[in-house]
Structure 1
Amino acid sequence: MNNFDPKRRFTPEAVKAADGDSKPSDKAKLSSVAQEVAAQYRRDTMSPVMLSGILRLTEFAMLFVTGLVLYAYHVGFLGHLSWQYPLVILAAAAAAIVFFEIMDCYQLQSLMRPGVSLGRMALCWATTFALMAVTAFFMKVSAEFSRLLFGGWFVVGLALLVCQRLIMARVIRRWARNGRMERRAVIVGGGKAAEVLIRSIEQQPYNDIRICGIFDDRDDRRSPPIVAGYPKLGTVSELLEFARIARIDMLIVSLPLTAETRVLQLLKKLWVLPVDIRLSAHSNQLQFRPRSYSYIGAVPMLDIFDKPINDWDSVAKRAFDIIFSLLGIIVFSPVMLATAIAIKLDSKGPVLFKQKRHGFNNEVIEVYKFRSMFTELSDPSAKKTVTKNDPRVTRVGRIIRKTSIDELPQFFNSLFGSLSLVGPRPHAIAAQSHNLLYNEVVDGYFARHKVKPGVTGWAQINGWRGEMDTDEKIRKRTEFDLYYIENWSLWFDIKILFLTPIRLLDTENAY
């Protein structure tokens, strides 16, 4: 009997323990065809989850405002029942959205086919008013409210809902045609299994999957260069570079579950990417409980990894960054001004030091710091780690590095979007430990870049800041960074942010 457990076996620990080498050596060179395809998908897309969320908020606001306008027209704003009317209108608008959700009116298929969903929406809107009437009857307050007002709200609200859904259906279909709203997928593994999978996905009505190509390590004899009309763009190692150029949402591994060793070897390479990773279960004989699967239409998938901090989580985190970055800039502006003056008086050269570091998805970003070293001795590539009593550091530099004041300009990085306030600290692109790049020391190091790097992070809160002079230190920092990524929440960010000033009092490793 086969005891395969998809939820237990494919964890980061299991993947990292598999045979094979996940350390990217030299950057894989893509073929001209792969480069051309990747260039077509550089632009971000609108997520269906984000779209349906925005539509919920829009319809709630539309119904609520419509009710208030009719109330002001029929009764007079702040007139009879000045707080009861707005409260009832608010509750009814919220109840209608809940009923729409229960009846699947925000599913992509419903949004693209308004003719199917409008009947359900009318029923939900009518149910909302029936619920209000029943509630008012049992509370013996029905005579106090205007039937004409609520009758008019029912008609006007329904008309607005119908018009909005018809308009949105046309917009969504246009976005689907021009690639503005889609989930981009890459198939990992070719041959007959990939062909069956692709045909099945293409047969699903109103699915939002756009297949960008196929990657397979096998040669053309075992894996044809064209499968179901899609080209084989390269090997799995080349896929890592492809996914850092193109905005890919999902990797679908089309290998049988029986090829467990091969699947784990692939996942060992791919798990560092900030994408959803799914294992096709379409042609597998093993059957799991329905809860084990996610679906593309009716095509079953086993969820291996999910992209961290996605959709509305990313919106919340970005809002958090903007608000607290602005607050930080305002609060610390006197300190930053005094620091800039001190740097200018202490040594020649610019006030700010710009350094290229690894950012989200291994992209190269430019990070701002106050200059703490003599200009002629600066090390933009960070090949040589700053050590205790380093002669390259200025007098002012020793103070601002010890207190982390040199990092304050990164509030502007966070405000402009290249950094987040909280996340794995970005390392210089040539940072080394004992003449080895960090990714050569730590297996899975680039998984730190599945989220945007931060001004402060969980590793720094736990004492792993400052000089990384041993392999063990960079391993521990990476371990804490990965823990943060896998356990992220907005409350976790708030905890880290407010613990940072306390932890900065420990300056033992800050030189």
Structure 2
Amino acid sequence: MASAAAESRRSTSKSLLRLRMYLLMLLGDVIAISAGFLIAGQIHVLHHGNGQWMDQLIMLLPLYVATALLIRAYSPAIVHERWTSMGRGINALALATSTIMLVAFFLKASDGWSRATFFAGVMMSGFFLMVVRYAFVRHSSALVGGEPYEIVVVCDGVPAPSMPSANCTIVMESSDVFDPSRLSPAIYDRFAEVIQYADRVIVQCPPERRQVWALTLKGANVQGEVIAPEMSELSPIGIARHNGVPTLIVSRGPLGLKDRIIKRLFDITVAGTVLFLLAPLLVLVALAIYLQDRGPVFFVQTRVGRSNRLFHILKFRSMHVASSDAKGTLSASRNDNRVTPFGRFIRATSIDEMPQLINVLKGDMSIVGPRPHALGSRAENLLFWHIDERYWHRHAIKPGLTGLAQVRGYRGATERKADLVNRLQSDLEYLHNWTLWRDVVILIRTVSVVLHQNAY
């Protein structure tokens, strides 16, 4: 009886920890959004009087909570994943904000609202939301009072991992604990007792014992997994079926439909705004290039885009017409005599890249993403795809005007293989951890690297 009571208390404790985790995350989000609108509202009151910020907040909060629940912004998957947690919070805020803007537009319900207050409130709410979620992920165990989720790793005939995580229990399988090949109710009852509090059971065993473990886990009422190291070369991301036969999913677009819509709206907004604001400057630059040698204003080059499809990228021409390298076989060097005097200036200030905003509006490129490379780009006299077989993976997303590699300082000529590998590693990291907030951060950081020592 005492044992049963202890087990009941442990199960209840785990459930309470999970409930506490969800409520604390929700409370943190509500406080962050409320703080953003409160500060924006008070600033507006000081200068212009009431901007109905409270009405805006009351309308936004329920939509945010509903959207966050819908996109699983409160789930086990994000408890220890900083970028995932922050990204889902920002996505929920963006979707809720878009919904309010659409409703207010069609119903004309925004009379008396201060649009400046609403915009400022959303921006500050987003900032506070990121801070709160970042802090929660870093200190979740302390805030919740323990680990609400538990993983049990069964090591059957293989050594146990030397560094298990805090919420991981290691079970060294033996005939005294559980032998799945000895079929009897007592044996299965013993195994059920071992995993009774687990949310996930991972079995590491020799290949010949995987089938019996798979059969055992199917009846265990838990997420059961069997490690298959030989699959690591294929890097599968899931399982599907074709004509009743299991298949390994080895690729999938990194962004779902919702994320693609959000990213596209961000691209159009930023590209359209910047083109409008910089139009006079761009006209002057184009005129200067033409007057310099009466040659074409734009340099058009074929590059690799999303899904490995080729597209024509636009740049302001910075080289002499006769010296332009359409294939990009030779990267520009610091004292490259192919570059015109004015071209040297626009390359050093990255103004030569500005026409790519047109590529963004056309849909060939994105504001943030892996930089597109010329077809003939080389490092140590090797084409990029001959240096690292993962090179083609970076094209699962649209190329960008700027990217994670660029803000980390990986710019300029690729003289060594490491120059390409460093950029590729950053591109793949961006691809697998995309969030709208990360795009915003990269765009802000780009301002600090526009004037870069390797921009020539």
TM-score (normalizing by structure 2)? 0.49
TM-score (normalizing by structure 1)? 0.44
